[in-house]
Amino acid sequence: MATDAFHQGKLAFQNNHPMSSCEYPVGSSLRAEWMAGWTESRNTDPGHFRSSTAGDSTAGATGTASEARH
């Protein structure tokens, strides 16, 4: 198990724990380190940038894709 807060945060993200699962006290340097690790792991995860709604903005604005073609 990781012993420093930064790596604990990274592991938390990698194991699908939400940011809110951080148990370090609000305002503590350990919480800030944990959050930084969690955020870094999220930002480097290629799957994080995929979105099930990507490309749907046109369909949402004009109706379904088939309606937009007619």
Q: What would the pLDDT profile of 9-67 be if each residue is shown by its tens digit?
A: 999 999 999 999 999 999 999 999 999 999 999 999 888 765 444 444 444 444 445 44
Q: Is the pLDDT of residue 6 over 80?
A: yes
pLDDT of residue 46: 83
d(CA 42, CA 55): 22
Bigger pLDDT: 5 or 54? 5
pTM over 0.75: no
| Number of other CB atoms surrounding residue 38 within 10 Å | 24
- DSSP output for 4-66: SHHHHHHHHHHTT--GGG--SPTT-HHHHHHHHHHHHHHHH-GGGG--TTTT-HHHHHHSSHH
Q: Is the pLDDT of residue 1 over 90?
A: no
